[in-house]
Structure 1
Amino acid sequence: MTEKQYIQPEGIFDGSALGFTQVVTSPPGTLVFVSGQVPWDINRQLVGDTDLAAQTEQVLKNLDLALKGAGASVSDVTMIHVFFVDYKPDYAAIVIPILNKFFGGKPPASTWLGVQTLANPHLRIEIEAIAVVGRDS
């Protein structure tokens, strides 16, 4: 039986104290599961205050760092789940352009979910991802 790898990428806060791992890969390293990324810096300080666009940018910065920590890249992402606190349809106009820029116009499959709250009352968005590495392009 092969073992999973638990990765704490540089530049992202350590989630172990909060009961999760930032990135888990499944040997032979083809599947990468990235925990929900939030708009915190490495010191668990909120970035973006209440600004959804600024929070989204930080979330994607953290996602990029997490992917790199697993030897993956943005182009390897196949699925994202986006969680919004008190989702409103006009959030799409804010977030879609940011996602399109991040994914280079080739967005992965996605599911958007409106939730009542996230782990911290100041968080407005969280994104988790699944990536596939080592596949034929």
Structure 2
Amino acid sequence: MAPERADSSMQEIVVEGLPDPPRFGSPTALAIRAGQQIFISGTLAWDADRKLVGVGDVEVQTRHILDAMAAILRTQGASLRDIVKINFFLTDIRDKERIWAVRREMFGDHRPASTLVEVSQLVDTEAKLEVEAIALVPPSRP
């Protein structure tokens, strides 16, 4: 039996068309909403069947990940502009300029707090980056 949640306002977010972690044996959620906060788990450039999109192309992977995050946020009445913290984990730090270009394109002048680090490997060995984020939904939104 699973333990009860301390806060009944927590809800798991599932989005049709995005990979559902439990479907692939993962004990994690795609994202969780707790009150007005949305916590998006580390996201790779996977399609709904967990196949990597944009193999070898960090810009395609970055755009796919941010599009997936935007889809998650839309289900909660939010957008990329509501992200307050975003973390990028790269397998090659030399890709940062290409990632930043996509980020500027998709975020415009919105500049959330951010971390960007190089890692030795990701769960999908062909993935070039993984991204996680925290967003705040303004109280006037559902």
Tell me the TM-score normalised to structure 1 length: 0.89
Q: Which amino acid aligns with 1:58?
A: H
Q: Which position in structure 2 is the counterpart of 1:11?
A: 17
Q: Which position in structure 1 is the counterpart of 2:3?
A: none
Q: Which position in structure 2 is the counterpart of 1:106?
A: 110
The number of residue pairs the alignment matches comes to 132
Q: Which position in structure 2 is the counterpart of 1:23?
A: 31
SS of match in other structure, 2:67: helix
CA RMSD of aligned residues (A): 1.5
Q: Is the 8 A contact 1:23 1:33 kept in 2?
A: yes
Aligned-pair identity (%): 30
SS of match in other structure, 2:52: coil
Tell me the TM-score normalised to structure 2 length: 0.86
Gaps of 5+ in 1: none
The match for 2:83 among 72, 77, 80 is: 77
Kindly state the Cα deviation for residue 135 of structure 1 after the two structures are TM-superposed.
4.4
Q: Distance in 1 between matches of 2:69 and 2:104?
A: 14
Q: Distance in 1 between matches of 2:27 and 2:79?
A: 25
The match for 2:97 among 93, 99, 117 is: 93
Cα offsets for 1:60-96 (capped at 9, x unmatched): 11111121233321111000000001323xx222111
Q: Is the 8 A contact 1:23 1:32 kept in 2?
A: yes
Q: Is the 8 A contact 1:13 1:44 kept in 2?
A: yes
Q: Distance in 2 between matches of 1:70 and 1:38?
A: 21
Q: Distance in 1 between matches of 2:112 and 2:73?
A: 14
Q: Which amino acid aligns with 1:7?
A: I
Q: Distance in 2 between matches of 1:2 and 1:51?
A: 40
